[in-house]
Amino acid sequence: MINTTLCYIRRGEEYLMLHRIKKKHDLNQDKWIGIGGKFEDGESPEDCLLREAREETGLTLTDYRYRGIVTFVSDLTNQEYITIKYIIFQYSTFIDKKIVIN
């Protein structure tokens, strides 16, 4: 079983989505998805959420809500993914990264 986080960063009625195009053999290849990723050893869901948000967007999350757990079973790898979902309401400005939106 692989534990992951997934979150949707909201600003008004808009959501930040990532277009997955770089990784080879990615189950999410060419999909638009929220941000998140796999837990590191000893990491809590909240720690994973905050780390992934900073790594993928440069944002520091300041107001977020737990929304539920989703279980995915992959037909390709026979892996089970447990995903902890969040919605983000507030964050600080961009930090350390330049984000290019096409």
Distance of CA 50 to the CA centre of its chain: 9
19, 60, 85 from 51: Cα distances, Å: 19, 9, 15
Lowest mean pLDDT, pick from 21-25, 59-63, 89-93 = 89-93
Which helix (H) or strand (E) is 72 found in, with range?
strand 61-73
Predicted local confidence at residue 19, as pLDDT: 86
The pair of three-digit structure tokens given for residue 3, joined into one six-digit string: 């534990």
The pair of three-digit structure tokens given for residue 70, joined into one six-digit string: 């989703």
pLDDT above 70: residue 102 = no
Decide: pTM greater than 0.95: no
Nearest to 72 by CA among 85, 64, 62, 82: 82
